[in-house]
Amino acid sequence: MRHLVPCKVGWNELNQMGNGTVLPNNAEGFNLEITRNEDGEVLMVNGIEIMFPGMHDSEWLAIHGIRGLITEPETTEEETEMEEYYVTKVEESIAPDRGEF
């Protein structure tokens, strides 16, 4: 479950979305785009066909199976270095101060 949208989107809601609808998801800076093929028959997410709509549908969660992997865009070396820097800073800032005990 790599890509999660902030609310439940059942098959009926997904199927009624307009071509090019963009949904935010849990991967920061990366969205999911809902599109259809040329004849409008096949629903896709980021160009990957939805093969098993409604694999699981509960009161709070809907899971749809897709034909392939949704990959995130490649990050540059500079972006990777910046991310590592900020992760390190956050980890340092939340480390407990053991010296006071």
Show Cβ contacts of residue 100 under 8 Å, excluding neighbours closer than 6 positions: none
**What do you get for the CA distance between the two ends of the chain, in Å?**
41
What would the two tokens of residue 56 be? 């699981």
The verdict on residue 54 lying in a domain is yes
Residue 53 pLDDT: 94
Q: Which carries the bigger pLDDT value, residue 85 or residue 8? A: 8
The verdict on residue 6 lying in a domain is no
Residue 28 pLDDT: 75
Q: What is the mean pLDDT of residues 73-93?
A: 64
User: What domain count does the chain have?
Assistant: 1
The verdict on residue 61 lying in a domain is yes
Interval 19-73: pLDDT, tens: 999 998 887 778 899 999 999 889 999 999 999 999 999 999 999 999 998 887 6
Contact 2, 25 (CB under 8 A): no
Residue span of the structural domain in which 56 resides: 11-95
The verdict on residue 57 lying in a domain is yes
pLDDT at 84 over 60: yes
Rounded Cα–Cα distance for residues 45 and 22 (Å): 9
Contact 65, 51 (CB under 8 A): yes
Q: Cα angle at 22 between 21 and 28, to 5 degrees?
A: 170
User: Looking at this protein, which amino acid is placed at residue 23?
Assistant: L
